[in-house]
Amino acid sequence: MTISSLPPGLILVFGAFLLPIVGPFLRPLLVLALPLLTIWQVWHMPEGASPAFTLMGYEIITVNVDALGRLFALIFSLMAFAGGLFALNQKRILELSAAFTYAGSAVGVAFAGDLITLFVFWEIMALGSTIVLLSADTPQATKAAMRYFMVHMFGGALMLTGIFLYVFDTGGVVLTEMKPDTVGTALILAGILVNAAAPPLSAWLADAYPEASWSGTVFLSAFTTKAAVYVLIRTFPGTELLIYVGVFMIFYGITMALLENDMRRILAYSIVNQVGFMVTGIGIGTEMALNGAAAHAFAHIIYKALLLMSAGSVLYMTGKRKCTDLGGLFQSMPLTTLCGTIGALAISAFPWTSGFVSKSMINQAAANEHLALLWFCLMAASAGVFLHAGIKFPWFVFFQKDSGLRPKDPPWNMRFAMILFSAFCIGLGVWPEHLYALLPFAVDYEPYTDAHLLNALQLLLFAGLAFFLMLPMMKRTLTISLDTDWFYRRLATAIIDRIGTFIGNTDKAIRERTMSGLNSILDYVWQHHGPEGSMARTWTTGNMVLLVTIFLCVYLVFSFI
């Protein structure tokens, strides 16, 4: 069976253009059918590469199917289905079309066999996600979308420059493992890390995602950072630098999430934190670590979407997003509370949830390589995750004080989407072998050992105890958390304003002095050559003869000299 050269993600991309055309009766059917058709296509594609064709002298392989690509393409397609189900009530059709284009291009990245195909889908992802953000149609979303777009265009420029240099050095465009030992590969790595929300540009994620609509944030959480994780696994496994980058992302995300008051910004920072675990696993580079990174990306898309669905449901029903405005919602939104709590347990790697069977593989890989300090950092970070996402989010949103709000659970489609992903969180945790069977390498790992369970339960117990002991310090206030985006949101703006003022004042001074000089010259010319000027008056014949005589005398003197 030959592989088609048409990536299966194009089902979603082309289908996205049909959504505005079809009527309101067919549109929901199309929203649900397109991802299911993509899942079927991805699942039934045989492994191997599509026939190559030549473009500008280079062989282009638009589809290359293996276990790693299939894993990511499946979860991207599944996320498109669940996100579409959750967003059936979304009246902005532009958002749905952009979201499906975004999801389809992520599937295209997962199956790309060369750098050119990868880059094309990479940039379509940036465009689609920007439109998802813009479609929220608020001043805050518009400004955030512009900043988001500029950051991703910068990352895309880094990647494209790196690809040009890499092709110049190697003569090929095949997507394969690299080492960041040349300028080209280093720039490719930098471009990927921008999409992974790695420092120093990690603040774009928490700046942009919370400004999307109640459904748009769910889509945004799934594709950009996890596509970057996929490409890192494909291109830079075992790069030691990624260990340090990943550990920084882990603790940076935890710290910023603990300071936040906005429920969706809490969850946005936890994306950075969780991607840090994946980047660390890629840096370790062993088969178990890469399996763990891939499995954790799969599990993370599900439980993070579930958390943001619960937050989106609260926003949809109440119009509020700050922890200080919420609380006590468990009384009227029991299903949303239950699903949000399941997502919180999964992100905290609670046993019998999906997060436990994936994150523990990364921890075990660090232990197997005798990276003791790294192992301790990962274990401490796991406690931090439980603090900010496992307890803080559900506690302040659904429990704590009674805010007096009594909204009901959201409409049926939103409830069903949350139930579906809750079932996945528990099902993958109870039967991890189904996830392990999809991983790129053979799995020789048992998550449910006495040591693993004891370590996890002790860690979670003491983290929970620490949270409630420090609860007075954890209570949120109406504050704003500063991040590195301050440098381009505030400082850069101030510098540009100062530069603009300086240039404007300098231009004004130059213009004034120039015009003053020109006016002086014109006054002088007018004084001597105007109607009343000495050079414009009528001279007598005697004066003219005298003037000619003087000129002749001067000429004679100079001729003899």
Q: Which residues face 114 on adjacent strands? A: 174
C-alpha dihedral sign at 82, 86, 92, 93: positive
Nearest to 419 by CA among 347, 338, 316: 338
Q: In this structure, what token pair is assigned to residue 28?
A: 């929901």
* Position 51, amino acid: P
Residue 2's pLDDT is what?
Answer: 56
The angle at the Cα of 281, spanning 279 to 286, to the nearest 5 degrees, equals 135
Residue 480's pLDDT is what?
Answer: 67
pLDDT tens digit sequence for 50-97? 888 887 778 888 999 999 999 999 999 999 999 999 999 999 999 999
H or E segment to which residue 48 belongs: strand 48-49
Give the number of other CB atoms < 10 A from CB of residue 170. Answer: 14
Q: How far apart are CA 310 and CA 117, in angstroms?
A: 35
Rg, C-alpha atoms of the chain: 32
Angle between helices 183-195 and 224-235 (to 10 degrees): 150
Residue 524's pLDDT is what?
Answer: 79
Note whether 336 and 409 are within 8 A (CB).
yes
Query: Which parts of 51-142 are beta strand (E)?
Result: 53-55, 58-60, 64-65
Note whether 333 and 415 are within 8 A (CB).
no
| Predicted TM-score (pTM) above 0.85 | yes
Residue 477's pLDDT is what?
Answer: 59
What is 191-244 written as a DSSP string?
A: HHHHHTT-TTSTHHHHHHGGGS-TTHHHHHTTSHHHHHHHHHHHH-TT-THHHH
Q: How far apart are CA 50 and CA 36, in angstroms?
A: 22
Query: In angstroms, how far is CA 219 from the centroid of its own chain?
Result: 11
For residue 240, which phi and psi values (nearest 5 degrees)? -60, -35
Residue 54's pLDDT is what?
Answer: 80
Q: How far apart are CA 317 and CA 410, in angstroms?
A: 7
pLDDT tens for the chain, 561 residues: list them.
456 778 999 999 999 999 999 988 899 999 999 999 999 999 999 999 888 888 777 888 899 999 999 999 999 999 999 999 999 999 999 999 999 999 999 999 999 999 999 999 999 999 999 999 999 989 999 999 999 999 999 999 999 999 999 999 888 888 999 999 999 999 999 999 999 999 888 889 999 999 999 999 999 999 999 999 999 999 999 999 999 999 999 999 998 888 888 899 999 999 999 999 999 999 999 999 999 999 999 999 999 999 999 999 999 999 898 888 888 899 999 999 999 999 999 999 899 999 999 999 999 999 999 999 999 999 888 888 887 777 888 888 898 888 888 999 999 999 999 999 999 999 999 999 999 999 999 998 999 988 888 888 888 887 777 777 766 666 655 666 767 776 766 777 788 888 888 888 898 899 888 988 888 887 877 777 666 666 666 667 777 777 788 888 888 888 776
Nearest to 275 by CA among 308, 304, 240: 304
Q: How far apart are CA 373 and CA 387, in angstroms?
A: 21
Residue 1's pLDDT is what?
Answer: 46
C-alpha dihedral sign at 208, 210, 216, 219: positive
pLDDT tens digit sequence for 112-149? 999 999 999 999 999 999 999 999 989 999 999 999 99
